[in-house]
Amino acid sequence: MPAKADIQLLENGQFVKYDYAEGEVNFTGAGEWMMVFNEIKLYRDDQLDCEFAMKKDDYVARVYSPLDPATVDWSKQSRYFGGKNYDPDTGAEIEIEKVTAKPDMYELHYNEDPFHFEQDTKPMMMPAGTNMVPRVFKTNVGDIYTTNMINADRDSLKVGDVLTPGAKGILEVAEGDMKWQVVKVYTMPDHQKGVKILRIA
């Protein structure tokens, strides 16, 4: 889902709420925190993976889905393609015109039932003010990974410290519903300071 209009920046390793009720990714929705894990895309030769972040100004998404459910005629059922349909409310039979050609011996992979009806549909546009859609993953108790996306001085962290997502989804030393324990004071693959953490709750 699209990131809330007021979110300007999301970094890998940050946490967000997948707020399905509001149709957006934010920091305040119900449910557990989901980890931002976007595909890294770099466009300059000298850039490093650690320099990637999802910045709102870099994204111009306009279409959320090629199909807007509000414009679809759901009264037609594809399993009755070219045969009979049934009114979902009354159960009465409805004749449906045959809109596909008969099988052709020269079209070896021709499918007489394309599983949909040709109809006038429109795309679903992005909500006003939004233009980026982050990829988020669910984490589970027992997951382990190494990160430096922590709102704390790495040198102040020690094994046993408990971290939880803060107001902006960045891990910090605090108590919360989601708990990550520092299990090793470590380094990132590019030798930046980091810590290995284990989800414990």
Q: Between the ranges 45-49, 109-113, 176-180, where is the mean pLDDT highest?
A: 176-180
For range 138-154, the mean pLDDT = 95
pLDDT at 117: 47
With a cut of 80, say whether residue 156 has pLDDT above it: yes
Q: Does the pLDDT of residue 97 top 70, yes or no?
A: no
The 8 Å CB, 24+ separation contacts for 55-62 are 55/8, 55/9, 56/3, 56/7, 56/8, 56/9, 56/131, 56/132, 57/8, 58/132, 59/131, 59/132, 60/131, 61/2, 61/126, 61/130, 61/131, 61/132, 61/133, 62/125, 62/126, 62/131
Q: What is the reported pLDDT for 80?
A: 43
- SS3 percent helix, strand, coil of the chain, rounded to 5, is 5, 30, 65
Residue 60 region by backbone torsions, left for phi larger than 0, else alpha for psi between -120 and 50, else beta: alpha
Phi, psi of 51 (to 5 degrees): -90, -5
pLDDT in tens, 55-79: 999 888 888 888 788 877 665 555 4
Q: What is the mean pLDDT of the chain?
A: 85
Nearest alpha carbon to residue 148 among 49, 41, 1, 33:
49
42 pLDDT above the threshold of 70: yes
Residue listed under structure tokens 């931002």: 36
pLDDT score at 84: 60
pTM for this predicted structure: 0.74
